[in-house]
Amino acid sequence: MSIEDLNPPEKLPEKISEVEPIAEGRGRHVRTREELKNLVEIPLLATCEELYDKNIRTLSTSANKNDIGYEYNGISIDFDSLSEQNKEIGKQLGRVDFSDNINQLFIPIPVTEESTIEEIKTYAESLAHKFSKQPLTWSPTYTIEEMRQIYGIEPDDESFGPEAFEGQWYYNSDDKLFYSSEEHYNKIKNP
């Protein structure tokens, strides 16, 4: 008997009809690539990871059993944060709508009762491959004064230094700016 016999691996779903929806995540600011695993359903995860690696901001995704026969399954991207080249590519793949106070590029992903995870994954990845890597423009940076103001503190209140915001933000002492995460800092500084 092996250890695998005691703890058999969890069987991954094979068809879209077996994929449970992930409700959390729509419009959430993703700070690390790792977060995507908790926000994106398995058929579109590799696609969203590739878009993230190319500094493309995904706003929402949907590919689960509730999407069968539904016309709004797919990927929404922050259109205004795309490079000009990626905007042109995006317009060929989907449509741009103004929703939630932002221009969103919606790329539909066809889903049927018989769609397999692998079919959806392969199709979605082929779309992501068309985009080019671009500079990260959608991740905010803040000065110490701006951070204080965001948290309702007087901008010149020096009793709240950079350490007051550690854990939620990454502070770089060289440029004296806060970043969403160290990962975003590295993506911005080393494109």
DSSP string, 48-94: HHHHHHTT--EEEEE-SGGGTT-TT-EEEEEGGGS-HHHHHHHHHHS
Those residues with Cβ within 8 angstroms of residue 122's Cβ, 6 or more apart along the chain or in another chain:
none
pLDDT at residue number 7: 58
Question: Based on the domain organization, do 111 and 72 belong to the same domain?
Answer: yes
Q: How far apart are the first and last CA of the chain?
A: 49
pLDDT at residue number 9: 55
List the structure tokens of 29.
């600011």
What is the count of structural domains for the chain? 2
Question: Based on the domain organization, do 71 and 159 belong to the same domain?
Answer: no
List the structure tokens of 162.
């950079």
Question: Based on the domain organization, do 157 and 102 belong to the same domain?
Answer: no
Question: Based on the domain organization, do 111 and 145 belong to the same domain?
Answer: no
Asked if residue 134 belongs to a domain, the reply is no
Question: Based on the domain organization, do 96 and 175 belong to the same domain?
Answer: no
Asked if residue 8 belongs to a domain, the reply is yes
Asked if residue 79 belongs to a domain, the reply is yes
Q: What pLDDT, in 10s, does the model give residues 6-28?
A: 555 566 678 888 888 887 767 78
pLDDT at residue number 113: 84
Q: What pLDDT, in 10s, does the model give residues 27-60?
A: 788 999 999 999 999 999 999 999 999 999 999 9
Q: What pLDDT, in 10s, does the model give residues 138-180?
A: 999 999 999 999 999 999 999 999 999 988 899 999 999 999 9
Question: Based on the domain organization, do 35 and 121 belong to the same domain?
Answer: yes
Percent of the chain at pLDDT above 90?
Answer: 71
pLDDT at residue number 161: 94
What is the extent of the structural domain holding 78?
3-128
Asked if residue 136 belongs to a domain, the reply is no
List the structure tokens of 40.
């994106």
Residue with tokens 């959806």: 120
Question: Based on the domain organization, do 76 and 165 belong to the same domain?
Answer: no
Asked if residue 111 belongs to a domain, the reply is yes
Residue 86 pLDDT more than 60?
Answer: yes
Question: Based on the domain organization, do 105 and 39 belong to the same domain?
Answer: yes
Question: Based on the domain organization, do 108 and 159 belong to the same domain?
Answer: no
Helix, strand, coil percentages, rounded to 5, for the chain: 40, 20, 45
Question: Based on the domain organization, do 21 and 105 belong to the same domain?
Answer: yes
Asked if residue 135 belongs to a domain, the reply is no
Question: Based on the domain organization, do 111 and 182 belong to the same domain?
Answer: no
Question: Based on the domain organization, do 124 and 166 belong to the same domain?
Answer: no
Among 128, 152, 175, residue at a domain's last position: 128
The count of other CB atoms within 10 Å of the CB of residue 171 is 20
pLDDT at residue number 99: 87
Asked if residue 133 belongs to a domain, the reply is no
